[in-house]
């Protein structure tokens, strides 16, 4: 009797396993072909587009050598042992596959997926179709606003002038101030070469304040010589000594690349109404920029302009290694009283920062 009971149990388990496997195959087969209507409405994606998108996590749909398009495979360790994100051009095999990943990222606001789509390059064969689909979903009235923000960022970081122009036009033609702000916040994150900067520069004459300020912010983030030249020309035309500093953009927040440093130094040496902003830009580069500013002060013959040059400059000093030694040297050797006072101010702030760090320490 015991043997019969055991045999019956074995048969029941076998039948149960067969039923589970059949259900699993049915689920996999249907996941790529059907989409909940409610989910379509929530994502703002046209139903005819979603139905054509393959299941991102189904390995059968991903050709060999293109990765499995999952977040796990998106991260790799380079030769120096540093984690990196794989570019989208190597992660996905088609525009639809890439769109599926982006739409999922939009629902979760997944920054790692955004990193995959940072300037994917011109060798991305499916990118033109992909960006057309992104634009279509971005401009779809039923797309939720948080997802619009994500999709707009995908365009902004693409490094493609046509995508930047789409954002520009979207700001101009936005259905509401909220939509305009969404597109503008994305435009501020624009990445790319000088061709992108030129498109942004064309918007500096716009009478649309949202578009103009977003373009100034985007140019501020570039750091190139062209960006510095565009900013200087713009603030001169506006006769605006504050140069957008009150809203946290413009020359005062500019971090110049090496190619832009000579131009920035020239603006500081002018000692005009815009020079204090460019002095902050020098400091933004770090200790080398601080040293350049001290060198400029050392050859000055205008104490009044020195004081003006250093207004609010302390807020931009990074207390990095070597700053204590540099300011010690200035205090001892400089002949410029404003430089000495600034060096002492830096040291006072450095001491205060160290005390704050000590207060935050816990005794084991």
The pLDDT, as a whole number, for residue 354 is 72
CA-based radius of gyration for the chain? 28
Helix locations, 285-322, DSSP H? 287-298, 303-309
- DSSP characters for 20-63? HHHHHHHHHHHHTT---HHHHHHHT--HHHHTTSPPTT-GGGS-
| Cβ neighbours of 332 (radius 10 Å) | 9
Whether the CB-CB separation of 137 and 44 falls below 8 Å is answered with yes
Q: Is 305 helix (H, G, I), strand (E, B) or coil?
A: helix
pLDDT average per 10 residues of sequence, the chain (364 residues): 41 44 40 36 32 29 36 59 77 94 92 92 90 96 93 97 97 95 97 97 97 98 98 97 97 98 97 97 97 95 93 94 95 96 95 68 50
What is the rounded distance in angstroms from the CA atom of residue 181 to the CA atom of residue 174?
A: 9
pTM of the shown model: 0.76
What is the rounded distance in angstroms from the CA atom of residue 97 to the CA atom of residue 7?
A: 48
**Residue owning tokens 């499916």:** 126
Structure tokens belonging to residue 333: 């050797």
The pLDDT, as a whole number, for residue 8 is 41
**Residue owning tokens 């040291």:** 347
């Amino acid at each position: 009797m015991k043997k019969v009971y055991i045999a019956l149990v074995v048969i029941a388990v076998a039948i149960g396993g067969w039923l589970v496997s059949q259900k699993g195959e049915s689920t996999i087969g249907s996941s790529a072909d059907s989409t909940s209507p409610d989910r379509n409405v929530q994502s703002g994606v046209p139903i005819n587009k979603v139905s054509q998108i393959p299941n991102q996590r189904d390995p059968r749909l991903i050709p060999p050598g293109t990765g499995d398009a999952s977040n796990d495979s998106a991260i790799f360790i380079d030769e120096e042992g540093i984690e990196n994100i794989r570019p989208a051009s190597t992660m996905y095999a088609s525009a639809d596959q890439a769109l599926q990943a982006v739409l999922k990222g939009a629902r979760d606001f997944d920054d790692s997926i955004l990193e995959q789509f940072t300037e994917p390059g011109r060798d991305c064969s499916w990118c033109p179709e992909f960006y057309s689909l992104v634009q279509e979903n971005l401009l779809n009235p039923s797309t939720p606003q948080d997802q619009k923000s994500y999709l707009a960022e995908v365009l902004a970081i693409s490094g493609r002038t046509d995508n930047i122009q789409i954002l520009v036009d979207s700001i101009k033609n936005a259905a509401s101030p909220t939509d305009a702000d969404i597109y503008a916040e994305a435009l501020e994150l624009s990445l790319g070469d000088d061709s992108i900067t030129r498109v942004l520069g064309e918007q500096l004459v716009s009478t649309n304040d949202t578009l103009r300020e977003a373009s100034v912010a985007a140019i501020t983030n570039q750091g190139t010589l062209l960006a510095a030249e565009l900013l200087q020309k713009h603030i001169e035309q506006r006769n605006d000594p504050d140069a957008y500093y009150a809203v946290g953009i413009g020359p005062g927040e500019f971090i110049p690349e090496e190619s832009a440093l000579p131009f920035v130094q020239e603006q500081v040496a002018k000692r005009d109404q815009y020079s204090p902003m460019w002095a902050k830009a020098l400091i933004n580069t770090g200790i080398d920029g601080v040293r350049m500013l001290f060198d400029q002060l050392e050859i000055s013959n205008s104490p009044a302009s020195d004081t003006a040059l250093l207004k609010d400059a302390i807020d931009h000093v990074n207390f990095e290694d070597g700053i204590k030694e540099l300011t010690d040297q200035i205090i001892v050797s400089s002949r410029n009283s404003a430089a000495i006072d600034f060096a002492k101010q830096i040291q006072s702030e450095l001491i205060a920062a160290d005390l704050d760090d000590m207060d935050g320490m816990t005794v084991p």
